[in-house]
Amino acid sequence: MITPIGLLSIAEGFARRIPDDASYEDERDACWLSIGVAYLRQNEFDAAVRALERLTAPQAQARFRVAAVGWSGEHFENEAARELVRETVNNIESWEPLIYRSELTKMVKPICAVLGNEAVQAMSWKLKDPFTAANVLVSLSGVLQDPGVRRETLRSAEELAKGVRNGDRDYALRWVVSGYRNAGLEEDEQRARSEMSEDLELMNDTEAQMLATASEALQFRVGPEPEPDTPSLKLKRFLDYQYNDLRVLFLTELAEAGGVADPEIERALGSQAFQTIAPARPPSIYKDPSHYTVDGLAATLFGRPVRQVDDDRSYIDGDGDFWISDVSRFLSTVQELFQNFGELAAKFTPEQVEQGLWYLLSYPFALVQQLDTEGISSTQVVALTNSMYYPFSDYYSKRDQDYPGSAFFMWWDLFCSGRGNPVLDTAAIDVLQQILSLPNPACREAALHGLSHYGHVAQVVTIIDAFLDENRLWLSAEEIAWAERCRDGEAV
């Protein structure tokens, strides 16, 4: 058997061998963060701090500090931990942009346990975001014993919440209302509720309905239930994925589970396949793509392993909050990607291309939504839409027989369905007409499917009728029926 500490020692040895060059930075930080948090869970604070010293990215350092502050609340006698908490609080304005609001709120109780209530009060004054500061004070009120001080703290939170920008203000006030309710301050609760522009109960009901819908969608499965995951299956997948940080994550998960006593896994951990350092993984799919070259964008979208299990998405995608700082520049790069799609996509497997197109057309890039960004010209909308002809003509038409997925068939559902943008709609219909003229049946099927979303447009009826007149002799009865349904807008 390998003990938890033994597994973490193996993980440290592996992490030290990851190259120091910039392309491996994300993996190095992911490894040392995983190791540091795992040592905290084993109550080995000094070893955890060794991992912190290896972290280079501020985001990774912030993630460790969140975990360490939480740990310190249960181990407030540890002087080194107290000092780390004190240093974090004293410099909270530096860490605030890197820590989620919910995490800062959860840090309140351990900070109170380690440094006292006054430290949280002082921290709230340093926070730049009034929403976050209000949440922190509401959480602080929950641990205060003096009713008068508790009420004053909630009053301060209310004033901060009232200064939050429109759109978030009601949510900030909802926290305050909850604080007053928990404190039994009914008059204050009603006053805070009156400051909200939306009815509190309606907000709660709407949110509950959204969560219920999302939960139902997540539980819906097509086909048989997947077989239960096991450490052996996970190890095999992680080796197939060839990501260094996933191997370390596997070790830290085994450590948290209490060690490993499986001889097969123990042998695998010492094997050359496990110990070999793999090439650097592509950047997180959530990284700002504004300044990618076209090759860099192609590698980010298509250059990652295909998920073998849906639940592995977070392992393959990486971490972060998706945003695009320069949408116009990003769209220009996407246009270049489409114009050279035949050459660029050929470097990857069809399965990788399929996965990457779903990233681009759906979550997280949601390409069509980027065209709605303020400042994007009609000229750029048309140019990008026109460039979508080339993935069909230069790639899909040549690979449809061995292409494994539905991204090309669903392309226009994802890109233009229900947008109601006249400029985009006109350009999309023009491109779909061009794709419909390709001799490849799969391309024509995708084009007809796309045109079906415009079944109410007279131009589309004319296009599909002309297609049927020209090809009726060569089409099967099923193909004719499909085209007619698309013409009539019934194939959506």
Q: What are the boundaries of each domain within the chain? A: 4-213, 294-487
Residue 432 — left, alpha, or beta (φ > 0 → left; ψ -120 to 50 → alpha)? alpha
DSSP state of 185: -
- Evaluated on CA atoms 311, 316, 317, 320, the torsion sign reads positive
CA distance 470 to 235: 55
Confidence of residue 217 (pLDDT cuts 50, 70, 90): very low
Q: What is the largest CA-CA distance in the chain?
A: 87
Angle 93-39-48 from CA coordinates, rounded to 5°: 45
Mean pLDDT of the chain: 92
Residues in the chain: 492
> Which of 452, 454, 437, 453 is closest to 482 using CA atoms?
452
The predicted pLDDT at position 167 comes to 84
CB atoms within 10 A of CB 394: 18
Q: Give residue 205's pLDDT band: very low, low, confident or very high (50, 70, 90).
A: low
State residue 474's pLDDT score. 85
Coil, helix or strand for 260? Answer: strand
Given pLDDT bands bounded at 50, 70 and 90, which one contains residue 415? confident
- Rounded to 5 degrees, φ, ψ at 260 are -135, 135
Q: What average pLDDT score do residues 286-312 get? A: 96
Q: Residue 275 pLDDT more than 90?
A: yes
DSSP assigned state of 375: T
Q: Is 155's pLDDT higher than 90? A: yes
Residue entry with tokens 């449809």: 400
Residue 47 to residue 309: CA distance in whole angstroms: 33
Each as own residue / partner, the long-range contacts of residues 97-103 (CB below 8 Å, 24 or more positions apart, any chain) are: 98/58, 98/59, 98/61, 98/62, 99/62, 99/65, 99/66, 101/129, 101/131, 101/132, 101/135, 103/66
Distance CA 99, CA 66 (A): 8
What pLDDT is attached to residue 90? 97
Judge contact between 123 and 157, C-beta under 8 A: no
State residue 17's pLDDT score: 97
- Name, of 166-180, 331-345, 451-465, the range with top average pLDDT: 331-345
Angle at 271 between CA 309 and CA 30, to 5 degrees: 55
Of the candidates 280, 370, 354, which has an alpha carbon nearest to the alpha carbon of residue 322?
A: 370
pLDDT at 348: 97
Mean pLDDT in residue range 113-142? 97
Average pLDDT of the segment spanning 369-385: 94
Top pLDDT among 455 and 258 is at 258
The pLDDT score that the predictor gives to residue 216 is 54
4-213 CATH:
1.25.40
Model confidence at 373: pLDDT above 70 = yes
Sequence-ordered list of residues with C-beta below 8 angstroms from that of 186, at least 6 positions apart, any chain: 180
In the predicted model, is pLDDT for residue 223 greater than 60? no
Residue 317 binned pLDDT confidence (cut-offs 50, 70, 90): very high
Q: How far apart are the C-alpha atoms of 281 and 305, rounded to whole Å?
A: 10
Categorize the per-residue pLDDT at 416 as very low, low, confident or very high, splitting at 50, 70 and 90: confident
H helix or E strand, kind and range, residue 275: helix 272-275
- Closest by CA to 342, choosing from 383, 390, 402, is 390
pLDDT (average), residues 433-460: 91
Q: Where are any strands of DSSP class E within 81-198?
A: none
Distance CA 245, CA 316 (A): 11
In this prediction the pTM is: 0.86
Mean pLDDT along residues 416-438: 88
On whether the CB atoms of residues 70 and 110 are closer than 8 A, the answer is: yes
Contact between residue 180 and residue 192 where contact means Cβ atoms under 8 Å apart: yes
Nearest 5°: phi and psi at 44? -110, 80
Separation between Cα atoms, residue 62 and residue 68, nearest integer Å: 10
Region of poorest pLDDT, from 146-150, 197-201, 434-438, 483-487: 197-201
140 to 174, 176, 190, 457, 485: CA distances (angstroms): 16, 12, 21, 59, 62
Bridge partners of residue 44, in order along the sequence: none
Contacts of 487 (CB under 8 A, 6+ apart): 451, 452, 455, 460, 461, 464, 465, 468
List phi, psi (to 5°) of 340. Answer: -115, 25
How confident is the model at residue 224, as a pLDDT?
57
- Please state whether 136 falls in left (phi above 0), alpha (psi between -120 and 50) or beta: alpha
- Per-residue pLDDT band at 214 (split at 50, 70, 90): very low
Task: Please state the rounded mean pLDDT for residues 455-480.
Answer: 89
The confidence score (pLDDT) of residue 197 equals 87
- Average confidence (pLDDT) over 228-248: 95
